Structure 1
Amino acid sequence: MTRSGITRDNGTTQLQARPLVTIQQGQIEGLWLDTDTGPLATFRGIPFAAPPIGPLRWAPPEKPSAWEGIRDGSQFGARAMQNPAPSIFTKEMIKRHGWPEEKTRRAIKKFEALPQLPISEDCLFLNVTTPEIAPTEARPVMVWIHGGSHQSGTGSLAAYQSLKLPAEGIVLVTINYRLGVFGYMAHPRLSEADPNGVSGNYGILDQIAALEWVAANIFAFGGDPANITIFGQSAGAQAVSELMASPLADGLYQKAILQSGVYSWNPTELKNEFRGHPSGEQMGVNFMRQNNLATSEASIDDLRNIDADDLLHAALTDTEHLGKFLPLADGYVQPARLWNLINDNQLAPVPILLGYNGDEGSLFYEWYNRPTRYDYNFPDAPDARLAHFKQVFGPDADSLIADYGFDQFSARQQTETDMLGDDSYGVHTRLLADSHANRKLPVWIYHFRRSPSSPEQTVNAYHSAEIPFVFDLHGAAPLTPADQAITDHMTGYWLNFAKTASPNGPGLTDWPAYSPDQKTWLIFDKEIHTEENVRKRKLDALESGLQRLMTNAANE
């Protein structure tokens, strides 16, 4: 295999000129990454849309400008506006791995010392890593959408810069998108100025713009614009489901992978309240007024002229609205609530691979202190808490109490943690799998159960635990044989799915497709195996309760 700018001398690879490609905006020069299997070309900080600043704040993304000369693609672009401090989620994960105190302290110190990219409203960048700029045959493309509760994160995180996937023939793209108040705030003035009468969902529009850029330019990097897989984790997986729900994204991808995230849990609508929660537009008005940023009569120019740092400070300190600016049903970007679209079989009919982890709630319970996302008012007293649980879940309460063990109040935190994970991720993952299977569309579903090896750990198969196995990025520590097997299988399945629309291939445990007649899950644990109807009774009861909640709210 030959690459531009590389010579081979006596069996060795010598990197000469930096890789150079020409895209619609102009020429860009990247970097060579030397790997055990040969060099890869990477291009960083490529703008896929115009900077969303000034009159483009809270507006759909516009096409990026061209440039003169050769752009330097060796550095990542800025992160979207977000809390600039290191993630408390990651620090909590480190603390609860069960390592000795000194090892934990060193790990946190090392994490906190990692260089952080600057934050900026000018954040719409993507990165491309490719095995070959001019292959004889175009390569499959995988576009990664990062997580972070729609409030934080970046496509440039080191944990996503896989060498394994490109080395195995994939063109890997990682993207940024607007977050939090900058990415998802709705407001009547913004809706009035929009040609489609909507606001919010700018982060989704950014993701669509990134996919449009990929379709137009990825061939220059050796990628096949007709073979694109979108994949993501947590909020990134929710974004995948949102793209599957949006007619605006139709045709921009051919397959989808969702790791711990389907967005059917959020009921917010642009103009209508839900069970006492304000509409998206009203939330925007309340946020601006309560933080003395703008009055209810403020013009769109007034809103767009608010200092970005003042907006971010308010978003991070206003406890009423903290983390509440999220994708919403606006009738255009998202035609309806995702729950309804899934039940009505309206998501894009593409092959999907999806799943969730065995202990998703273990890192979140400290913040939620309740077993469900759908009610905030759980009292602390045991009898009152149980009575409230029965009120919330009605005819399904007794089944849930028995299956999770809620009547054993001494184990309340663990049982509620278990349910919070299934309530937040499991029921929605299975809902989409069932919808797809009932439509006779290709779907494969997994359950990741691998836990940290220390007997002192308290996170088990926590939220995001599968990411190092998918990207084959575990750090310097040697892997156990079991972890190596999980890594080989997960990277193998993901690669095969991106290439062929099926995860199966030589050397891998057979993964049966999920169907109405054979509800088979693949289990990633010390032994990789299959199971039928994972957590069926629990997920059945949770789905029944959620169906009733959504139906009753729609009829209010």
Structure 2
Amino acid sequence: MAEGRRTSRQADLGSGSEYRPLVTSDQGEDEEEIFQRKESDVSCPFSGYRFAMAVCGGLVVLCLLAAGLAYLSGKSACTLVDVVTPCGKVRGRHCGAAYMFKGIPYASPPTGRLRWMPPQDPTCWNDTLDATDFRSMCAQVQPLSKQGRVMGSEDCLYVNVWTSSLDHAANLPVMVWIHGGYLHILSGSEPGYSPTEELAENSHVVHVSFNYRLNAFGFMALELLREGSPTNTSGNYGFMDQVAALRWVQKNVRYFGGDPGKVTIYGQSSGGTSVWTMMVSPLAKGLFHRAIDISGSSVFTATMADAEKDNLLFLNRTGCQDAECLHQLSVPKILQSIPWDQYPDWAAEDLCDLPRKGHFVGPVAVVDGYVVPDAPLEVWKKKLEGYSDVPYVIGTTLQETEYAPPYSNLSQWSEEDYHWFVKVRLDTFGENLTKEALDLYPTSEFCSQPKRCVEKTFMTMVSDLRATCPNNVLARQAADVLSSPVYRYVVTYTPSRPAQISSLFSYDSWFAFHMLDTLGFFGTLDYVLGETTEDDHVFQRLIRKYFLHFAKEGAMPPEWPELPNATALLSTTLATRESYRSAQCSLWQRNGMFQYAWVN
């Protein structure tokens, strides 16, 4: 059986209500001349389609190659439009009924002496800033290994804005997207895994995405890096970037038609973990007003001191003995020195399998006492000052781990194979655990597709242990502490056909896989499934309906009860269940298995 398969990704690198945007063009044409141009003369963005996404808590990259977003191709001519912000004029595009501004700096490039330092305010500009193209993703390597391809740049701290109005008085709700990728990879401009023109046009919400520092550049905790630090901490620089991006939203979003008093943050996978971090960080308090945590990690306990010791392996690989040397290292050298496949195992390749007793993954995000004052659950339990008491949604999918399983022939397993694999892994924790697990996860529970009963059952078991059940604890704790409403959902929808990614993995995704809800919200299931049915479209509309309602109202509609009353099950309809999967979750919790939940 092939375990820990790595994947690769190919990637291209004014004021007042009377304000009206300036519509311009590169050739200085007036507005009438621009609108008279043929649609074929102006190309809208996203005409090519490369999509990467992180699976298994953000561990693995999924690349989808498609011909382009049909919605955008040739729909209407795009014109150039200028907006005046406090830092200067920015020029974006107006396509159809949506405006798009890409690559606006929210912080200075964290290069040179600013590497491994808190983000600094950007330098403003005198001329018009060209915001018609995305800027570089943050420095990363794919796949997550010493031999991986180095991509991106340290000059990467930029925001992107999609909006349907530039009227300062529009006061549209704002949704700020925090991308996933295990805190190691991806960006805020992944086509299909980020907001779109279509979403802005049909939601009446201002959508914002951004890049933040990743991997060693964003999360390396080392005692050497505390030297000269204004916070006397190391690590969590990427979280500091997220706070800086939210501050940018507060200062600037009104110029793009948004209401800075109605900001929702939402993120998936490690983006969901980031949302939880923002919830408990005093630095982020007041910068947002609702939060949606999609498939985030529930384990967040590592201290900065422990991480600094674990990361000495990185320091040894660099050959450096002081901070000055570290600051002079090249981007490739830093990325190649990360301990991807040796403890602390930043590649974390086994988190889509049942755990091995005593085998853990080291921390990326840490409790530093500055961005994160204490382990997040402890912040709530102790009711420490500074956390955000805002409406909160916690969501997972029923088969989170399903489309990057550890065994390439999982779809061919027999009932006997299933019992044998569960026994091999869980017997190390005690034979009683194995027996109870097999009793609670009979293959007959998931037999709507008879040829895949075993596969679906095993993936549900792993997903419950690693993600679904630990997130129930997080959600219950939030409901106990926050005075604001807290909601819990599980996506149970099985798409009409498998996610056809066999050109990149040796596996197709059949069930409610990691990211299904996010793809539904962004409306990109077509490009995962190849073809979609009306049920697929109904599911997408349902996800979008509830997320947008929450962003606009700060609450779900009456048919979706708050915790602890029930969990919402999202498919082509919304159903609610009390104590959903309580027997299965109780098994893992009372046997101490939540310590093996997804991290980072």
Give the corresponding residue for 2:588: 542
Give the corresponding residue for 2:465: 423
Give the drift of 1:515.
3.0
Task: Tell me the TM-score normalised to structure 2 length.
Answer: 0.73
Give the corresponding residue for 1:446: 489
Partner Cα separation in structure 2 for residue 389 and residue 316 of structure 1: 28
The 3 A distance-change label for structure 1 pair 397 and 351 is farther
Asked if the contact 1:352–1:442 (Cα under 8 Å) also holds between the matched residues in 2, the reply is yes
The 3 A distance-change label for structure 1 pair 134 and 310 is same
Partner Cα separation in structure 2 for residue 120 and residue 294 of structure 1: 22
- Describe the SS at the equivalent of 1:484: helix
2:320 counterpart of 1:258: no
2:310 counterpart of 1:270: no
- Describe the SS at the equivalent of 1:21: strand
Give the drift of 1:282.
1.1
Give the corresponding residue for 1:513: 561
2:474 counterpart of 1:432: yes
Give the drift of 1:122.
0.9
Give the corresponding residue for 2:370: 332
Give the corresponding residue for 1:322: 346
The 3 A distance-change label for structure 1 pair 367 and 217 is farther
- Cα offsets for 1:21-78 (capped at 9, x unmatched): 12222111001122xxxx2111001111111111111111111111121010011010
Partner Cα separation in structure 2 for residue 404 and residue 542 of structure 1: 12
Give the drift of 1:117.
12
Q: Give the gaps of 5 or more residues in structure 1.
A: 89-115, 272-278, 371-379, 505-509, 551-556
The 3 A distance-change label for structure 1 pair 451 and 270 is same
Choose the corresponding residue for 1:284, options 311, 333, 340.
311
The 3 A distance-change label for structure 1 pair 491 and 190 is same
The 3 A distance-change label for structure 1 pair 511 and 243 is same
- Describe the SS at the equivalent of 1:209: helix
Give the drift of 1:521.
1.9
Give the corresponding residue for 2:152: 119
The 3 A distance-change label for structure 1 pair 66 and 383 is closer
- Cα offsets for 1:72-131 (capped at 9, x unmatched): 00110101111256x99xxxxxxxxxxxxxxxxxxxxxxxxxxx9950011111100111
Partner Cα separation in structure 1 for residue 587 and residue 380 of structure 2: 18
2:104 counterpart of 1:53: no
Give the corresponding residue for 2:549: 496
Give the drift of 1:454.
3.2
What is the aligned length?
Answer: 484
Partner Cα separation in structure 1 for residue 121 and residue 101 of structure 2: 19
Asked if the contact 2:400–2:514 (Cα under 8 Å) also holds between the matched residues in 1, the reply is yes
- Cα offsets for 1:355-403 (capped at 9, x unmatched): 1101012134318999xxxxxxxxx987664431228xxx977644531
The 3 A distance-change label for structure 1 pair 496 and 132 is same
- Cα offsets for 1:174-208 (capped at 9, x unmatched): 11111111111111111232233210001100100
- Aligned ranges for residues 33-182 of structure 1 at < 5 Å? 33-34=95-96, 39-84=97-142, 119-159=152-192, 160-167=194-201, 168-182=203-217
Asked if the contact 2:423–2:434 (Cα under 8 Å) also holds between the matched residues in 1, the reply is no
2:534 counterpart of 1:481: yes
Choose the corresponding residue for 2:330, options 295, 301, 307.
307
Partner Cα separation in structure 2 for residue 546 and residue 24 of structure 1: 52
Asked if the contact 2:150–2:332 (Cα under 8 Å) also holds between the matched residues in 1, the reply is no
| Identity in percent | 28
Q: Give the gaps of 5 or more residues in structure 2.
A: 1-17, 24-30, 40-74, 348-361, 411-419, 444-452, 500-507
- Describe the SS at the equivalent of 2:402: helix
2:244 counterpart of 1:209: yes
- Cα offsets for 1:220-246 (capped at 9, x unmatched): 111111110000111101100011111
The 3 A distance-change label for structure 1 pair 369 and 191 is farther
Asked if the contact 1:49–1:124 (Cα under 8 Å) also holds between the matched residues in 2, the reply is yes
Choose the corresponding residue for 2:86, options 6, 12, 24.
24
- Cα offsets for 1:424-481 (capped at 9, x unmatched): 2212321232123223430222111222323896541111112221112334766422
Partner Cα separation in structure 2 for residue 281 and residue 400 of structure 1: 37
